[in-house]
Structure 1
Amino acid sequence: MKKYLISAMVIATCMAAAGSIQAQDATGKGYARVNGIKMYYEISGTGEPLLLLHGGLGSMGMFERIMPAINAGRQVIAVDLYGHGRTALTDRPVSYIDMADDLAALLRQLGIKQVDVLGYSMGGIAGLRLAIQHPGLVRRLALVSTVFARDGFYPDILAQQEQMNAGAAALLKQTPIYKSYAAIAPQPEDFPKLLEQMGQMMKRPFDWSAEVARLEMPVMLVYGDGDMIRPAHIVKFYELLGGGKKDAGWNRENMPQNRLAILPNHTHYDMLMAPELPQTVRPFLDGKMQARPELEH
């Protein structure tokens, strides 16, 4: 439990400002009833739609640091995933697959036919499942610090995940994690229940290798060089997407449509504070990474 709490304290530095996303061109916010839950969302800006998916024990406010660079020229749809932020728990377990269905139902209810997706950690896994389960809704997919299988995490991280349960609530009550949660959660008393449900979800084995290999939309993978995800898993993820098979060629004739980026001097915990992150993902999300640019000879 001690190791888990140390990691939790580090994560909390990413969540110190876990409030609503601030934007001058807000076009909507509120709750949508989807799949038996009330999901909170905020829409800001104008342009091509971009769905933001936050990490575990956080909320949409985790993107606050990079929002100015992310939302320029975009209609941003930010959500609080099931049990997080302003979206309360129900009797339903926390599940990546259910989260993906929630997102699909929300988008359809909002009348949004297709989105680009930027997901971080747990939100990245939810975004991956959205692309797998509802591929027609996702145009481009950018995944930050995301795994496709449970064993993608280092063994010590898996051990920490095993320790997450309701009993950790009392130890976390004085940390920014709980204070950020309690400040906006509809039912702050559900915090122990959330920890228990998150712990149960993280213990469940999963491996979506076959489904990842069948994805057809462009995908970008982004990690820190000090991430909690094993480098071998990162490489395998990229290979499943068709990358890393051969040299791209002088004219990029063998260049896959998918991309891989490793941000130096960054960890899993500070990726959403990295100024390099929006600079890395925006060209991809905007479709500006051409497959075969003109080269001078």
Structure 2
Amino acid sequence: MSYADVNGVHLYHESHGAGAPLVLLHGGVGSGEMFAPILPALTAHRRVITVDLQAHGRTPDVDRPLRHETLADDVAALVRHLGLTGVEVLGYSLGGAVALRTAIQYPGLVRRLVCVSTPCRRDGWYPEVLAGMATMGEETAAGAHSAPAYAHYARVAPEPRDWPVLWTKLGDLLRRDYDWSAEVAALTVPTLLVFADADSVRATHMVEFFGLLGGGHRDAGWDGTDRPAARLAVLPGLTHYDIVDSPALAAAVVPFLTHPARPPG
């Protein structure tokens, strides 16, 4: 358990296990602790580094807005602070977007990428999810106190009274439009996309995202020669809200991380 001062942020992180480094990035209003259910399966193969992003978990807020791009800058700065190169990065929901931006912005730093339950374009979320994001602001922060995420925040945050600030900043981030399709299509890092079959991300977008990475364009052939470098996993019986707790997530991720990577193309 430690802090690193990077980009003006006092960034909390933990390291578990040994081996090649795998960085885990949590979802919105969460922290690295949300990966606890799958941590044993991952640490059996990797040195796992969990990170609490700006204003989340044990990392205090700073005077700047939340942006996917600057959060990715923080992750890259932490990796360099730790003296690491060629890390694997797995992110869930908000963390998935940050993981994706890290791979885009720092292509030489990420050797494998796993994006869990996150789109590469804002309208990849279902309309009702976007409508919920639109309500996130200071006026609705108190109403979110009943959510399990608030209890966790109140327990670990350096300043629990800053919950309305996080809720408001996160709402501002989630209402911002983005489309990273062109940058995704240019990625060369081996990538695994993981979704629940009842996710908050539209099923059609899952396939579109996979297609941008080179997947789903042809038959792999009887010997798998034409199998794409990218991977797509849709886990049955899960939702956006419980996929990160499921053993099925680790079962999908570990083979991708431990098998030799195929070159893109």
Q: TM-score, normalised by structure 2?
A: 0.97
TM normalised by structure 1 equals: 0.86
Cα shift readout 1:66-85 (whole Å, capped 9, x = no counterpart): 11111113111110011100
CA shift, 1:253, in A, is 2.0
CA-CA distance at 1:180 after TM superposition:
0.7
Counterpart of 1:268, as a letter, is H
Taking the aligned partners of 1:266 and 1:131, their CA distance within structure 2 comes to 27
2:216 aligned with 1:248 = no
Listed one character per residue, the Cα deviations across residues 8-52 of structure 1 (whole Å, up to 9, x for unaligned) are xxxxxxxxxxxxxxxxxxxxx211111111100111211111001
Structure 2 residue 15 is matched with structure 1 residue 40: no
Deviation at 1:288, TM superposition (A): 4.7
Q: Within 5 Å, give how 1:203-242 maps onto structure 2.
A: 203-242=175-214
Q: 1:117 touches 1:142 (CA, 8 Å); kept in 2?
A: yes
- The one of 75, 79, 85 aligned to 1:107: 79
Cα displacement (A) at 1:289: 6.8
Q: 1:125 Cα shift?
A: 0.4
C-alpha displacement of 1:178: 1.5
Q: Tell me if the contact between 1:140 and 1:217 (Cα under 8 Å) persists in the aligned partners.
A: yes
Q: Deviations over 1:90-145 (max 9, x none)?
A: 11000100000000001101101121111111101000000000011111111110
Counterpart of 1:146 in structure 2 is 118
Deviation sequence 1:238-289 (CA, Å, 0-9, x none): 0000011111111222111110011011100000111111111101011257
Contact 2:190 2:262 survives alignment (8 Å): no
1:176 is matched with 148
Structure 2: which 5+ residue stretches go unaligned? none
Structure 1 match to 2:174: 202
Does 2:48 match 1:76?
yes
Q: Which moved more, 1:282-291 or 1:102-111?
A: 282-291
1:30 maps to 2:6: no
Residue 92 of structure 1 corresponds to 64
Q: What is the letter of the counterpart of residue 165 of structure 1? A: G
Structure 2 residue matching 1:195: 3-state secondary structure: helix
Indicate yes or no: 2:28 matched with 1:56.
Answer: yes
Q: Does 1:119 align with 2:91?
A: yes
Deviations 1:183-224 (A, max 9, x none): 111111111011110000011000000000011010000111
CA contact (8 A) 2:141 2:168 kept: no
How far off is 1:165 after superposition? 0.6
Question: Are 1:283 and 2:262 matched, yes or no?
Answer: no
Separation of aligned partners in 1, 2:157 and 2:19: 30
SS at match of 1:111: coil
Q: Deviations over 1:53-78 (max 9, x none)?
A: 11101000100111111111311111
> What do residues 144-195 of structure 1 show as CA deviations (whole Å, max 9, x unaligned)?
1011010000011100000011112211224322121011111111110111
Percent identity reads: 51
Deviates more, 1:170-179 or 1:256-265: 170-179
On the 8 A contact 1:142/1:285 being kept in 2, the answer is no
Secondary structure in 1 aligned to 2:241?
helix
Partner SS state of residue 32, structure 1: strand
Task: Give 2:38's match in structure 1, choosing from 41, 66, 73.
Answer: 66
What secondary structure does 1:167 align onto? helix
The Cα shift of 1:88 comes to: 1.0
What are structure 1's unaligned runs of at least 5 residues?
Answer: 1-28, 292-297
Number of residues of Structure 1 aligned to a counterpart in Structure 2: 263
